[in-house]
Chain A
Amino acid sequence: MTPELLIGSITLFVLSIFLGVELITKVPAMLHTPLMSGANAISGISVVGALLGANVAYDGGNTVVSGILAFVALVLAMINVVGGFAVTDRMLKMIAGKKRGA
């Protein structure tokens, strides 16, 4: 990592935090849980890091332990992502879906 890249990453980090703060303003109470659950699914984005880390040759070479760690991360992250979106969808179908039909 070069200094320019680091500065770029930090810039992105800080600006995204500001964006995140502005994004959520007034949320009705009934949407608190789905919003939390949906955002939680998005935090499973670490699946990207897990993919990059799990990309090692599993031939008993000297990166096999780190490969396995990343594999476990990959499974956990996918549970977070798929489970999170699915459960949010279920909740929203019951809350918001009915409203549109009414």
Chain B
Amino acid sequence: MLSDWVSFGYLISAVLFVFGLKKLGHPRTAPRGNQYGMMGMAVAVITTIIDMHFLPDGIVGWTIIIAGLATGSLIGFIMAKRVEMTGMPELVALFNGFGGAASALVALSETWKWVENTSPEPGLATTVTVVAAGLSALVGWMTLTGSLLAMYKLKGGIEVFGKWIRTPTWGPTWLNPVKGFLFISVISLIYLSINDPTNTDYIWGIIAISCILGIALVLPIGGADMPVVVSLLNSLSGIAAAFTGFIFGNNVLIVAGSLVGASGLILTTIMCKAMNRQLIDVLFKSFGGSEKQELTRTKMGSDAEEVAMMADGAQKIIIVPGYGMAVSQCQHQVKEFADLMKERFDTEVKYAIHPVAGRMPGHMNVLLAEANVPYEQLIEMDEINSEFSECDMAIVIGANDTCNPAARTGEGPLAGMPIIAADQARTVVIIKRSLSVGYAGVDNDLFYEDKTMMLFGDGKVMMTKLNNAIKEL
């Protein structure tokens, strides 16, 4: 029978996913890896549709199914095309939440068939379905609420009736045992449902507690740790899909879900390592991002002409981009500056990329690549830090925490985070709207040093002024 061979398609799909993930980890092959992922997904969807065609009743919900596929594809495509480069981390978090919700809804849909029809016969099949659906709900709903909160944390706040409300970061130590208690309650409810699968109180209970758990998990986390949390939630949404696979006994769901779950967890630890943090600390020790240090010092601002004079004849300049460059979209002006310096003084210009500069890893690479900055000029932190002592000028554009020497003291929220050694340059120019603290809420000594020149203002405005001043030299 042909129908027995249909699930062979799932094997092809799983193999494509394995190659896709593997290739996504290397710069040269990454675009190919993404295409493999797409192909794998297409094969999985087509296989499922063919598989359903061989069911005793065939495909009874044709119109609904096609409508669902088309609507989702269209919305997803438009969202992905429209998003600004600065908004990408939020979008990834949102998509991730949708993925978790989808798995949880599929699980709910399957158990709801019992509620609508008749209670199932007790037995292994029922137990497996109840446990799998319960775990899928736990992880899936948690992923949804956690990702939504993470999205608003990355945005910095939410607009309600025209008022901007900052997303809070709050995590007293007693929250950790509460999380443990909530987790155990969900597991108990799943256990109770085994003997009473159509009890809707249990079902709503599992959903409600899982949603709260997701919020409790993300609420204490803030600052530069956000990408790590999104990555962890991504891993969880994979696990949710794998649990859903157990409901249907569907191989591709189990394989793809657990692949994403495991590789996502590894990626999460790699990201932690890049920031010199432990995953456990990120999750269970509050970052303290909500307590902002009071500013007690002031610093005179400089103007673009002064900076241009200092830059006159410089042999080597290192640009340190941060979130401010992303917000003001001044990467083109930055590139123009580098070209001007090269042209007029034959200055060597390089870019120092902190692993978590901006709001996601690789954020700066994306933006500078958009402005056609040659790839070889983007240097990762570890490689470029030794070069600052021999550079004439470091220009920090809208970055704060990633070059805050307070990280070296081993105290405070930034303790232990590796930083860009911009303070070792002969002159430091900082383009920033004010002296205000960064995401971590720590004042930056670098701003007040004598060799530091502050250019107060929007990145794009100040870079344009600086470029004009250079032209007039």
Given A29-B274, A66-B116, A99-B375, A73-B79 contact (CB < 8 Å):
no
Give the residues in chain B near A38, CB-CB below 8 Å: 20-21, 24, 33-34, 37
Please name the residue on chain B nearest to A79 by beta carbon.
B76
Contact check, A23 vs B254: say whether CB atoms are below 8 A apart: no
Q: Within the assembled complex, what's the spacing in Å between the Cα atoms of A35 and B263?
A: 10
Distance from B91 Cβ to chain A, minimum over Cβ atoms (Å)? 6
Task: Tell me the bound Cα distance from A3 to B191 in angstroms.
Answer: 19
With a CB–CB cut-off of 8 A, which chain A residues contact B355? 29, 32
Chain B interface residue count, Cβ-Cβ cutoff 8 angstroms: 119
B260–A1 CB distance below 8 A? no
Chain B binding surface, main DSSP class: helix
Q: Say yes or no: A42 contacts B252, CB within 8 Å.
A: no
**Other-chain contact of B34, A50, A62, A89, A100 (Cβ < 8 Å):** A89
A21 and B258 CA atoms in complex are apart in Å by: 10
Central interface residue in A20, A46, A76, by most chain B CB within 10 Å? A46
Min Cβ gap B70→A in Å is 8
Q: A24-B25, A35-B24, A89-B31 are in contact. Are A48 and B253 (CB under 8 A)?
A: yes
Give the number of chain A interface residues (Cβ < 8 Å): 89
Closest Cβ–Cβ distance, residue B119 to chain A (whole Å): 13
CB 8 Å contact bits of B62-78 with A (1 = contact, 0 = none): 00110111011101110
Query: Is B298 interfacial (CB 8 A cutoff)?
Result: no
Q: Is the CB of A52 within 8 A of B48?
A: yes
Q: Is the interface of A mostly helix, strand, loop or mixed?
A: helix
Query: Residue on A with the closest CB to B103?
Result: A46
B250 within 8 A of A: yes
Decide if A49 touches B249 in the complex (CB within 8 Å).
no
| Chain A residues with a Cβ under 8 A of chain B | 1-3, 5-6, 9, 12-13, 16-21, 23-58, 62-67, 69-100, 102
Closest 3 CB pairs of A and B: A78-B72, A20-B262, A83-B76
By a beta-carbon cutoff of 8 Å, the part of chain B in contact with chain A is 17-18, 20-22, 24-28, 30-31, 33-34, 37-38, 40-41, 44-45, 48-49, 52, 55, 59-61, 64-65, 67-69, 71-73, 75-77, 79-81, 83, 85, 88-89, 91-92, 95-96, 98-99, 101-103, 105-106, 108-110, 112-113, 116-117, 124-125, 128-129, 227, 230-231, 234, 237-238, 240-242, 244-267, 270-271, 274, 353, 355, 360-363, 365-366, 369-370, 372, 374-376, 378, 380
